[in-house]
Structure 1
Amino acid sequence: MTEIEVPAPEPDWQPAAQLPYHAGKNPAYQYSVWEHHALIFQMIGVPALSVHPVAQRLRLHVERSWDGLDELDVVLFRLKGFSFAISKHDGNPAGVSYV
Structure 2
Amino acid sequence: MWEYATSSFRLVAGLSPSLDVLAARLRLDVERGWEDLGRVDAAMFRIQEIDFALSRLEGSPSPDVFVWVSRTQADANAALDVLLAALGMGREAVTFQGDVETGFVDLQNGPKA
Query: Helix, strand or coil: the match of 1:46?
Result: strand
Deviations 1:54-95 (A, max 9, x none): 111111100011111111110000000000000000121011
Give how far 1:48 is off.
2.1
Question: How many residues matched?
Answer: 67
More strand per residue: 2
Query: Helix, strand or coil: the match of 1:60?
Result: coil
**TM-score, length of structure 1 as denominator length:** 0.64
Equivalence for 2:42: 74
Query: Helix, strand or coil: the match of 2:59?
Result: coil
Equivalence for 1:60: 28
Equivalence for 2:5: 37
Between the aligned partners of 1:80 and 1:36, the Cα distance in structure 2 is 23
Equivalence for 1:23: none
The amino acid that maps onto 1:49 is P
Q: CA RMSD in A?
A: 0.9
Q: Look at both structures and tell me which one has the larger radius of gyration over its CA atoms.
A: 1
Between the aligned partners of 1:65 and 1:50, the Cα distance in structure 2 is 17
Query: Helix, strand or coil: the match of 2:65?
Result: coil
More helix per residue: 2
Give how far 1:49 is off.
2.5
The unaligned stretches of length 5 or more in structure 2 are 68-113
Query: Helix, strand or coil: the match of 2:52?
Result: strand
Identical counterparts, % of pairs: 34
Between the aligned partners of 1:49 and 1:64, the Cα distance in structure 2 is 18
Between the aligned partners of 1:49 and 1:71, the Cα distance in structure 2 is 19
Which stretches of structure 1, 4 residues or longer, exceed 3 Å deviation after superposition?
A: none
